[in-house]
Amino acid sequence: MKNDYILEMKNITKDFPGVRALDNVNIKVKRGEIHALCGENGAGKSTLMKVLSGVIPDGGYDGEIFFDGELCAFKNIKQSERLGIGIIHQELALIQELSIAENIFLANEIVKRGVIAWDEANQRTQSLLRKVGLDETPGELIKDLSVGKQQLVEIAKALSKDIKLLILDEPTSSLNEEDSQNLLKLIVDLKEKQGVTSIIISHKLSELEQIGDSLTVLRDGKTVDYLDMKQEVVNEDRIIKSMVGREITNLYPKRNAKIGETLFEVKNWSAVHPLYDRKIVDNASFHVKAGEVVGFAGLMGAGRTEFLRSVFGKSYGRNAEGELYIKGKPVAIKNVEQAIKHGLAYATEDRKTYGLILISSIKNNVSLASLDKVLTRGILDEDKEVVDTEKQVKALKLKYSNINQDTLNLSGGNQQKVVLSKWMYSDPDILILDEPTRGIDVGAKYEIYTIINQLAEMGKAVIVISSEMPEVIGLSDRVYVMDKGRIKGQIGKESVSQEAIMKMILSKKVEVLENDELKTKAL
């Protein structure tokens, strides 16, 4: 008779140089349930799942793993997959230039007489795509799919291996609200229709509350709580208290900033897609004042990131044109170096590609945009670099072993803190923060919100792009709403709500600047 628990991990301990990542962690997952795993960044969630899946092999940790009632010692991820364990990492592992079918059966090809049987592979791919709710054909290239659809291809790939336990690490962190809900529904359907057990790691506590059957909380590498979400009342406040060891009564701290004169203004800005002849920004205008936090809201594909990246030294798109004003004076900014010299900073949403040099140290990443501050007569002053970096990262409560640690070995949330440290060290007047809390736990979010408030109170102008509407609403003094590269309008703090934002997105009107006056016109 099979055990009620498909998975038991007992006394798992894992050390990295100078850091105990896991300290006698215990976790049990019932057969056919959705088990939530949460904790602050650096709590050990992803490390625990790497131990389970064989990414960290047997011998690299202490403790025992029982899967399907059997003691297991996985030397690699292939061994865990053969027993029915599949893991989908936060950063998708798909090859963009290959087709859906090629990705699904990569390193697991259907071969007959030494030749890949593409007809059978395509048929099986089509069946898998139907299971995950995709209408695409097996031959479509991954690069032509949205992020949400790529996430579903990853799940189809896992299902191709007769999966029993599916591990999803921050599966909705890059998805909009609609795609997130579709993915959560799929996870529930896999449980109810195919009996697939899932472990989901997420910082979006409302999602865990929505679909979870049980929940384990890790803190500082230790198991601190287990909640049966079907037998007891579990809400976000209860989960937060276990995660951070304290109550957070107001997720968005109050701000006492004094809003001053207009610090940065963009007028009639347009830009063209880097590859295709279509506008990605269409005659958009906005301004932000000293001491003000301005939010940008919109659905995925609205053009918020493209707009502000094109403004930041024309770092995205082609034929970017319009007018830029800093403190009322026109400026010409042709590249990123000039943008930084004019007091602009841009913390990117894609920290691994554009925000960091992952194989470089924390201190080298923090000083990267401000090398002149750590140079003496053209020579790097390493002592000053260390002192200045430690001051920056301690202000953001970064979890690290030492300042020379490679950024690659930090958790996702701590990598994001390094990005913020880098730009704060440049001492900008205007900060553009693109998804500043993506992949960051609720406790660290509060810390970053506090830092944003402090920057505003110092008289900085802060621009926040966020796909989480409650975050935009909670942080901003004003919210600009974008759709299809256009500014649809702006909403003041006293009037902003999710309903008001959606109503403006769906409106057939757009806000344009004519003769220095904003006017609402029909599309």
pLDDT at 2: 59
Distance CA 349, CA 419 (A): 10
Sites in the chain below the pLDDT cut of 50: 1
pLDDT at 317: 92
What are the strands of the beta sheet with 70-72, ordered from one edge? 19-30, 5-16, 62-67, 70-72
| Cα-based distances in Å from 17 to 14, 76, 129, 249 | 10, 22, 42, 36
- Selection from 502, 496, 504 nearest residue 471 by Cα: 496
How many CA atoms within 13 Å lie on the side-chain side of 92? 26
Q: What is the pTM of this model?
A: 0.70
Distance CA 113, CA 269 (A): 59
Q: Which residues pair with 264 in a beta bridge?
A: 288, 326
Distance CA 55, CA 57 (A): 6
Distance CA 463, CA 238 (A): 32
What are the strands of the beta sheet with 318-326, ordered from one edge? 279-289, 262-272, 318-326, 329-331
Distance CA 294, CA 472 (A): 9
pLDDT at 340: 94
pLDDT at 405: 93
Identify the three-state secondary structure at position 332.
Answer: coil
pLDDT at 509: 79
Q: Can you give the length of the chain in residues? A: 523
pLDDT at 247: 64
- 469: tokens are 């509407």
Mapping DSSP onto H, E and C, the string for 228-251 reads ECCCCCCCHHHHHHHHHCCCCCCC
Cα–Cα–Cα angle for 49, 51, 57, nearest 5°? 145
pLDDT at 246: 66
Burial label for 425, CB within 10 Å (0-12, 13-18, 19+), is buried
Domains of the chain: 5-244 (3.40.50.300), 257-343+430-453+464-523 (3.40.50.300)
**CB 413 within 8 Å of CB 43:** no
Q: Which helix (H) or strand (E) holds 70?
A: strand 70-72
